[in-house]
C-alpha cells in the first residue's frame, strides 16, 4: 500500500478518504493466518506467546492473549507534553496502517479496518510529544494513538477541540477494537510517530526554503543588488545540482526586473545575498536526503518481529523499529537550516543598518524614532534560538541491557519542527523589511518575486496605519508561510 509523500499529506493534512485495496486486505489476512498457524504449532513468539524484557521467559496462555495485548497499549501510554499537531497526529495512524498492510506483521484485518475508519472521521488522536526514544519503536506516542482504536484515548479536530471515545461511537458508529493476538504489539511497535513527524517537517521545510529563495530575488531588486551572482555560468561552475536549482529559482524571481535603478558601490553584494545559492542549495540538498529516507520507509515495515512466507511460516526478529536514519537525516537538515537562518538574519542587518542606500531603521525622510530597527533584535533572537538547537541524534543512549542503543530520532524530528516555526518568523521579518524598502523607494516593483511579495503582504492582512504592528504582523505572516498560504506562485 506504499504511498507517495503527496498522497500521505493529502490524507493527513487534507483528510482525504482512505480505503483498503483488495491486495492490502489479502496481505493482512494471509499474515494473520500465518501467525495463527505458528501459535497452533506451539512456536515461541516474542510479545505474543511471551512477555517482554525480563518477562519474555514466561509463556502466555491463549486465554491471556487479548488481556496482554490490551495491557501492552495501556501500559505504554505514559507520554507527556504538548500534543502533536493535527496533521502529524493523523499521520501516526496512517504510517501504522502502511506498515500493517505490508503483510509482514500478523496484525488482524480488524486493526487495519479500524485505522481506516478513524482516519475517515477527519479527526486525529491526541498524542503527547514526549516519550519516544526512537528505538524499540515509538512505543509511548504510538500507544496514545492506539488507545483511540480502543475508544479509550482522546480525539481532536482541526481546531484543537477534543472528544472522548463515547462521542466517536455515537457520532460515527465506530465500536472499540477487539485486539487480536498480535495487535497491541503492532500498535506500539514501529516508527510511525517519528516517520509522520519527519514527513510533515520535510514538507514545511520545502515550502520555507522555496519562499526564502524568492525573498532573495525580491531583496536583490529592493536593494538594487547585483543579479550576476545568480547566473547560470557561476552555478554550473560550482558543480552542485542544488546550487544550480537555487540559482534558477532566484533568476525566476528576478524575471521582469530591468536592473539596478541606482548606482551601488562595489562590484558585488555581501555574502548574505551573493552566497544564497550555495547556502540555500545545501539546505535543499539536506531536505532532499530526508525526503529520500521518508520515501523508502513509506514502502517498508517497521514492526518487529516479522512473519515471513518462506517454505513455511516463520517468525524472525530484527531491528526495523530503529529510527536512526530519520534522526540523522533530520539533524542534517537542522544543521543546514542554521546556515539559512544566519544568512537571513544578515540580510535583515544589511537592510536595517543603513548599508543599502536607506536610513538606519528604514526611516522615511522627515520621520524620527527607531523605525524598524528593533526588528533586528528579534531577528537575532530567532536566529539564536535556531542555532542553539542541538542535533538530537548526537546523543544516543542505553536504556537497559537489551535496548542498549536508542537513537533519539523522535526528538530530532520534534526539534526540526520547532526550528521551522522560528525560521518562518525570521522570514516574515525579512519580508516586512523588503516591503518597507519598496514603499520607501516609491517606484514600480518589476520583478516577479517582488510583485508577488507585495501581494503576500497585502493578503496577510498586515496593518496599514503608517506603522506596522510588528508582533501581530510577524505572527500573522509566519503562520501564512507555514501553512503554505504565502507562496510566490503566480
Cα–Cα distance measured from residue 187 to residue 192, given in angstroms and rounded to the nearest whole number: 9
Average of pLDDT values for 384-397? Answer: 87
Per the CB < 8 A criterion, the answer to whether 324 and 393 are in contact is: yes
Q: What is the pLDDT of residue 254?
A: 96
Q: What is the pLDDT of residue 442?
A: 83
Residue 388 has pLDDT above 70, yes or no: yes
Per the CB < 8 A criterion, the answer to whether 31 and 106 are in contact is: yes
Residue 340 has pLDDT above 60, yes or no: yes
SS3 track for 12-81: HCCCCCCCCCHHHHHHHHHHHHHHHHHHHCCCCCCCCCECCHHHHHCECCHHHHHHHHHHHHHHHCCCEE
143-201 pLDDT, tens digit each: 999 999 999 999 999 999 999 999 999 999 999 999 999 999 999 999 999 999 999 99
DSSP annotation of 310: S
Indicate the helix (H) or strand (E) that contains 458: helix 448-459
Average of pLDDT values for 346-362? Answer: 87
Grid coordinates representing 238? 560550482
Cα–Cα distance measured from residue 142 to residue 193, given in angstroms and rounded to the nearest whole number: 6
DSSP annotation of 300: S
Per the CB < 8 A criterion, the answer to whether 46 and 317 are in contact is: yes
Q: What is the pLDDT of residue 285?
A: 97
Residue 322 has pLDDT above 90, yes or no: no
Cα–Cα distance measured from residue 411 to residue 419, given in angstroms and rounded to the nearest whole number: 12
Phi and psi of 479, rounded to 5°? -65, -40
Comparing C-alpha atoms, which of 203, 272, 215 is closest to residue 416? 203
Percent of the chain with pLDDT over 70: 94
Task: Quote the distance between the C-alpha of residue 438 and its chain's center.
Answer: 33
Per the CB < 8 A criterion, the answer to whether 139 and 158 are in contact is: no
Where exactly does CATH 1.20.200.10 map onto the chain? 204-482
CATH of 204-482, one of 1.20.200.10, 3.30.450.40, 3.30.2320.30, 3.40.50.720: 1.20.200.10
Q: What is the pLDDT of residue 327?
A: 93
End-to-end CA distance of the chain: 35
Per the CB < 8 A criterion, the answer to whether 244 and 205 are in contact is: no
**5-190 architecture in CATH?**
Orthogonal Bundle (1.10)
Per the CB < 8 A criterion, the answer to whether 139 and 410 are in contact is: no
Query: How many CA atoms, within 13 angstroms, populate the side-chain half-sphere of residue 64?
Result: 11
Cα–Cα distance measured from residue 342 to residue 361, given in angstroms and rounded to the nearest whole number: 20
Percent of the chain with pLDDT over 90: 72
Cα–Cα distance measured from residue 306 to residue 233, given in angstroms and rounded to the nearest whole number: 52
Q: What is the pLDDT of residue 466?
A: 43
Residues near 376 by beta carbon (within 8 Å), at least 6 away in sequence: 348, 349, 352, 353
Q: What is the pLDDT of residue 462?
A: 64
Residues near 117 by beta carbon (within 8 Å), at least 6 away in sequence: 172, 174
44-76 pLDDT, tens digit each: 988 898 988 777 778 898 999 999 999 999 999
254-304 pLDDT, tens digit each: 999 988 655 455 678 889 999 999 999 999 999 999 999 999 999 999 998
Q: What is the pLDDT of residue 472?
A: 85
Per the CB < 8 A criterion, the answer to whether 274 and 346 are in contact is: no
Q: What is the pLDDT of residue 393?
A: 85
Cα–Cα distance measured from residue 365 to residue 232, given in angstroms and rounded to the nearest whole number: 39
pLDDT mean across residues, the chain:
90
Per the CB < 8 A criterion, the answer to whether 440 and 364 are in contact is: yes
Least confident range of 12-21, 31-40, 216-225, 465-474: 465-474
Q: How far is CA 412 from CA 151, 197, 291, 303, 422, in A?
A: 30, 9, 15, 21, 16
462-477 pLDDT, tens digit each: 655 445 578 888 998 9
Residues near 279 by beta carbon (within 8 Å), at least 6 away in sequence: 339, 340, 343
403 band by pLDDT with thresholds 50, 70 and 90:
low
Q: What is the pLDDT of residue 263?
A: 47
Q: What is the pLDDT of residue 371?
A: 85
Amino acid at each position: 500500500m506504499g504511498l507517495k509523500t503527496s498522497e500521505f499529506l493529502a490524507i493527513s493534512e487534507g483528510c482525504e478518504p482512505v480505503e483498503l485495496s483488495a491486495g492490502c486486505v489479502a496481505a493482512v489476512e494471509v499474515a494473520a493466518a500465518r501467525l495463527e498457524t505458528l501459535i497452533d504449532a506451539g512456536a515461541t513468539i516474542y510479545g505474543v506467546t511471551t512477555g517482554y524484557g525480563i518477562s519474555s521467559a514466561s509463556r502466555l496462555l491463549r486465554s491471556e492473549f487479548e488481556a496482554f495485548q490490551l495491557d501492552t497499549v495501556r501500559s505504554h501510554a505514559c507520554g507527556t507534553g504538548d500534543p502533536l499537531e493535527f496533521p502529524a497526529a493523523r499521520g501516526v495512524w496512517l504510517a501504522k496502517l502502511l506498515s500493517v498492510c505490508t503483510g509482514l506483521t500478523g496484525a488482524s484485518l480488524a486493526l487495519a479496518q479500524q485505522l481506516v475508519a478513524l482516519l475517515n472521521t477527519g479527526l486525529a488522536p491526541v498524542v503527547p510529544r514526549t516519550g519516544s526514544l526512537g528505538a524499540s519503536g515509538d512505543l509511548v506516542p504510538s500507544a496514545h494513538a492506539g488507545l483511540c482504536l480502543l475508544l479509550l484515548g482522546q480525539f481532536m479536530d482541526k481546531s484543537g477541540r477534543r472528544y472522548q471515545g463515547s462521542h466517536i461511537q455515537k457520532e460515527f458508529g465506530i465500536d472499540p477494537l477487539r485486539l487480536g493476538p498480535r495487535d497491541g504489539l503492532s500498535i506500539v511497535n514501529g516508527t510511525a510517530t517519528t516517520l509522520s513527524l519527519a514527513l510533515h517537517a520535510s514538507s514545511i521545510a520545502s515550502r520555507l526554503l522555496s519562499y526564502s529563495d524568492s525573498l532573495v530575488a525580491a531583496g536583490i531588486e529592493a536593494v538594487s543588488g547585483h543579479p550576476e551572482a545568480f547566473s547560470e555560468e557561476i552555478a554550473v561552475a560550482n558543480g552542485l545540482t542544488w546550487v544550480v536549482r537555487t540559482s534558477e529559482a532566484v533568476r525566476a524571481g528576478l524575471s521582469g526586473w530591468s536592473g539596478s535603478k541606482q548606482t551601488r558601490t562595489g562590484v558585488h553584494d555581501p555574502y548574505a545575498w551573493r552566497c544564497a545559492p550555495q547556502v540555500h542549495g545545501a539546505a535543499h540538498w539536506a531536505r532532499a536526503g530526508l525526503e529520500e529516507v521518508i520515501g523508502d520507509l513509506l514502502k517498508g515495515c517497521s514492526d518487529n518481529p516479522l512473519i515471513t512466507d518462506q517454505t513455511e511460516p516463520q517468525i524472525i526478529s530484527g531491528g526495523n523499529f530503529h529510527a536512526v536514519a530519520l534522526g540523522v537525516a533530520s539533524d542534517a537538515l537542522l544543521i543546514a537550516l542554521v546556515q539559512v537562518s544566519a544568512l537571513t538574519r544578515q540580510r535583515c542587518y544589511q537592510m536595517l543598518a543603513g548599508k543599502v542606500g536607506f536610513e538606519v531603521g528604514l526611516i522615511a525622510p522627515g520621520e524620527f524614532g527607531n523605525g524598524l530597527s528593533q526588528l533586528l533584535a528579534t531577528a537575532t533572537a530567532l536566529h539564536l534560538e535556531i542555532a542553539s538547537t542541538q542535533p538530537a541524534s548526537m546523543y544516543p543512549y542505553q536504556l537497559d541491557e537489551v535496548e542498549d542503543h536508542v537513537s533519539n530520532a523522535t526528538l530530532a524530528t520534534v526539534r526540526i519542527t520547532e526550528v521551522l516555526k522560528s525560521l518562518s518568523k525570521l522570514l516574515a521579518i525579512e519580508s516586512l523589511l523588503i516591503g518597507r524598502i519598496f514603499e520607501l523607494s516609491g517606484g514600480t516593483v518589476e520583478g516577479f518575486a517582488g510583485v508577488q511579495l507585495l501581494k503576500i503582504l497585502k493578503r496577510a492582512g498586515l496593518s496599514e496605519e503608517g506603522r506596522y504592528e510588528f508582533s501581530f504582523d510577524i505572527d500573522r505572516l509566519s503562520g501564512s508561510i507555514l501553512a503554505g498560504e504565502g507562496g510566490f506562485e503566480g
